[in-house]
Every structure is written in C-alpha cells, then in structure tokens.
A = this chain, B = another copy of it.
Amino acid sequence: MNTSTKAYEQLLIRLKQASLLASCSAVLEWDEQTCLPPEGAEHRANQLALMAGLVHEQATNTEIGDLLEELESNSAWDEDSYEQANIRESRHEYDRVTKLPRRLVEELSRVGTLSHHAWVAARKQNSFNDFLPWLEQMIDLKREQASAIGFEGNQAYDALLDEYEPGATSELIEQAFLPLRKELVKLVAEIQNSGVTPDISILTRSYPIDKQREFSLDAAEKIGFNFEAGRLDIAAHPFCSGIGPGDCRLTTRYDEHHFPGAFFGTLHEAGHGIYEQGLRKEFFGTPAGNSTSLGIHESQSRMWENLIGRSRAFWNVFYQPAQEMFPEALSTVKIDDFYRAINDVRPSFIRVEADEVTYNLHIMLRFELEKALISGDLSPVDLEAAWNEKFKEYFNLTPDTPAHGCLQDVHWSAGLIGYFPTYALGNMYAAHFYQTAENELGDLNHLIEARDFSSLKNWLNQNIHRHGKRYRANRLVEVVTGNTLSHLPLMNQLKQKYSELYNL
C-alpha cells in the first residue's frame, strides 16, 4: 500500500465517522418532525445543538486537512474517479466548515429548532409578527455564516447556495430562470385563456385517510421504493430523510378531502427515497456515497411525482385500482376527467400544492426575496409586504392571510436559505434526464403502461444514483445527457403536455 492509498483510507475513516455521527442527528431531526411531544421541544433543541457542535468538531479535525494536503500533492487518481471525487468534495466541504466557528454552528442549530417551533405556532395564529423576531435572528445568523464562509462582490447569497447546490451561483441560476420565467408566464396566460376548466371538485370528495395511505404505499412500492429499508410517516411539512444504509424515511400528510396532497406528495418523497436507496452503500459517509446536490435530488422526486405520476400512462395503470379504493369519490368519474383534474393549472397561493407550470414561479419569487434578505436590500420587517407585492406581480393574486403567503414554507424558519432555487433546478434537470432516458429506453409511456417501472428505476440507479458526488450537478447533466443545462427540455415537455390538455 503506497502512502497515498494509506492517506486515502485514513481520510475515509475520518469522513465516515463524521457522517455516522451526523446520521444520528438525522434520526433526531426525523423524530422531531414526526414524534416529538410538544413539551420536549427545548430539550430537542439542546440535543441537536450539541450534536451539531460534535459533528462540526469531527468535520473540522485538522487531521482531515493534513490528509487532504498529502493527497492533493501526491495522488494520481483519474479526475473522474470516485477517489478523486472524494478528495475534491471533502476539500470543498472541509474548507467550508472550517471557516465556521463552532459557536455559530451550534447557534444555527439551536435557533433553527426553536425558530421552527415559533414558525409552526405563528402560522397557526396567522401572525407574521409572531415569527418576525425569529426571522430577524435567523437572517442575522445566515449573514454571519455567509461572511464567515466568504464570497466575492455582493454575492453573500452564493456562499449559502453552495451548501445545497455545490458550484452553483445566483448569476447562473438567474440566467436559467430568466427565459424560463418568460415562457412560463406565456404558457400560463395561454392556459388561462383557453376556456378549458377542469372539474377539480372531484379531487376534494371524501378519500378516507387509511385508504389514501394504503394506495400511496402501494404506488411507492410499485415504482421501486423498498419498505424493508424504509418507512412512511406523517409530518406537517413532508420530507424524505436518508438516515443511512437500509434506513430511509418518507413523510407525508393526509387531508380526507384532498386526494393529490398525500398521493403525489408520497410519490415525490418516494422519488427522493429511491435516490437515497440507490446510493452505493459501501461509500456511505463519503461524498461518493452522498447525493450530488439538492437540485439533482429534486430531479428524482419531480421525475416520479410529475413526469411519471401525473402522466396519462401512469393512470392507465392506476386508475382502476383508484376507483376500487375510492368508490364513493371516483366510481362515476371518467379517467379523462381525473387526468385533467390532477393536471389543472391555475395560479394559487400555496407552493406545495401548485401545478407543474406555475410551480417554478413560486420558486423564482422566493429566490428573489431571500437574495434580498441576505444582501440586506430587504429587511425582515418588510418581508410580508414585499411578498404580497411580488405575488401580485407574478400571479395577479394577493394572499388572503400570512399562512397562505410568506408564512407558508418551513425553510426560512429552519435557516434553509439558498435551498429554494434547487427545486426549480430539479425540474429542469428532471426534464433533461427524462429525455435521455427515453432516447435510451424507448417510449417511457409504453413501459409504464406495461407496468414496467423498474427499467426507468434501474436506468436512474445506473446513470445518476450510483455516481453520488462523483460529478458536480452541471457536469452530471453533461455526462448523462450530452447537453448543458437549459430550460428547453422542461418547456418543451410542458408545452406538449399542456397543449393537449388545454387544446392550445
């Protein structure tokens, strides 16, 4: 064994230990969202802050820095190898985390937990002012975090974005969002002027919750999520948590009178889960065994939720079982009407309930506001007004309450700033991947109609999941599709689908 190999193995041990510890925090966080009794919130905040500090201590151990230096000057691995990716990405992460003082890391964790609980209460009370002091504290902390990490010019935001989408910049995102926004606004207008109005009331009939759970579980399993290595629970703000090998957890929320929420929510989280379950177990705890970026992660959830789950082909398979499961709601509803209803496009207040077309506009709005909060151009006290003004501009609607406006999302309360744009990136990545998968596998609708979900799942496993962080997101798109990121595949798919649906 030469010295590089030795140093590399030492590095892996260090990385894996820090990840193992971080995965303990992941259990605590999952539990906080699904199980924690109300009076346990403060203790949980203390637990998570302590763990964040310990993880930080391990991740910033100077031995990692020494090993990286040794490897960087001596290693001869290929640029595209897993080994070189582990060195490159752990250097990136090491440089980022060593700039953060432990106090700040613990404070971000502690305030994030308490602020999250304050947000839950404020949303319930419909009071932006109840949440404001926490938002102010959080924005201060995030600005401090950005300063500690460092950035060029006035792009403090990019220092935060980099945590979720390594290598991305707000400039690049703006370049992708600009043409996308133009085309989306046009498409929305065409749809609104089409005169076609699907009957969405069929989706708010009575869908018993236990049946929704049974139906969602079955679909998640059919598309390839392994429940021997995962589970599905209820959470107010649904998420997927890949805790570690053999343990990936999905959450959803049920409303008896809203079928799409839990069902497409579960498909979405299952898409994330299939990605987590497709990571290489032997690389657990190293960048090569971790997801590429949140944008790529989101491409997987959107793929299954929208490109597959809201397709006509999917419901050619699942509609009859749905009618049998929910006879009261669906026995007299034709598949065409159901298909139109689940693809209804109309401007609305709530991002997580938005259709495929308007969804990205919700993201752009948040992206602009959070950039302004971090740059200081927007003060937290003015957020509610700024939100409502921009919402009017984008959607020609004014939120009736803060819970339907700037209080609707969990992210800012938890300090997840720079996270939103990854959702829209995910939609664009998903369209790229779908196009290439179709080129390689043949018509995906035919496969799905033949109940073959595993061809696509295996393709994703092979082409995306197993790479982990071997490539950065943009490069992964190039390697897999041969193209660079563009809004065109997404817009083409949307135009084709919605032209048919709305007779455009």
Which residues in A have some Cβ–Cβ distance to B below 8 Å?
Answer: 17, 20-21, 23-24, 27-28, 31, 35-44, 46-47, 50-51, 54, 226-231, 243-248, 284
Contacts and interface: CB of A to CB of B under 8 A. Distances in A.
A501 to B, nearest CB: 39
Contacts of A28: 24, 27
Contacts of A35: 231
A27 B20 contact: no
A227 B38 CA distance: 9
Nearest to A44: B247
B244 A39 contact: no
Contacts of A23: 43, 47
13 contacts: A17-B50, A21-B51, A31-B31, A37-B227, A37-B230, A37-B231, A37-B248, A38-B228, A38-B246, A39-B245, A40-B243, A40-B245, A43-B247
A273 to B, nearest CB: 11
Contact of A24 (B36, B38, B47, B227): B47
A245 B42 contact: yes
A46 B347 CA distance: 48
A239 to B, nearest CB: 15
Given A17-B50, A24-B51, A27-B28, A43 B231 contact: no
Contacts of A243: 40, 43
A86 to B, nearest CB: 19
Given A27-B28, A37-B230, A39-B245, 17 more contacts: A20-B46, A21-B54, A23-B47, A24-B24, A24-B51, A35-B231, A37-B228, A37-B231, A37-B247, A39-B226, A39-B229, A40-B244, A40-B245, A40-B246, A41-B246, A46-B244, A54-B54
Nearest to A227: B37
B246 A39 contact: yes
Contact of A246 (B37, B246, B247): B37
Given A31-B31, A50-B20, A51-B24, A37 B245 contact: no
A244 B27 contact: no
For the complex of A and B, the 3 pairs showing the least CB-CB separation, nearest first, are A40-B247, A39-B246, A39-B229
B229 A37 contact: yes
Contacts of A226: 39
Contact of A245 (B21, B43, B227): B43
Contact of A20 (B24, B47, B228, B245): B47
Nearest to A229: B39
B43 A244 contact: yes
A50 B23 CA distance: 11
Contacts of A47: 20, 23-24, 27, 244
Contacts of A44: 247
Given A229-B37, A231-B35, A246 B27 contact: no
Contacts of A248: 37
Nearest to A281: B43
Contacts of A230: 37
A42 B231 contact: no
Most buried by B among A24, A231, A244: A24
A79 B47 CA distance: 32
Contact of A27 (B27, B41, B50): B27
Contacts of A38: 228-229, 246
A300 B48 CA distance: 31
Contacts of A246: 37-43
A27 B27 CA distance: 8
A373 to B, nearest CB: 32
A309 B351 CA distance: 51
Contacts of A31: 27, 31
A466 B96 CA distance: 46
B37 A50 contact: no
Nearest to A48: B24
Nearest to A42: B246
A247 B36 contact: yes
Most buried by B among A37, A50, A244, A248: A37
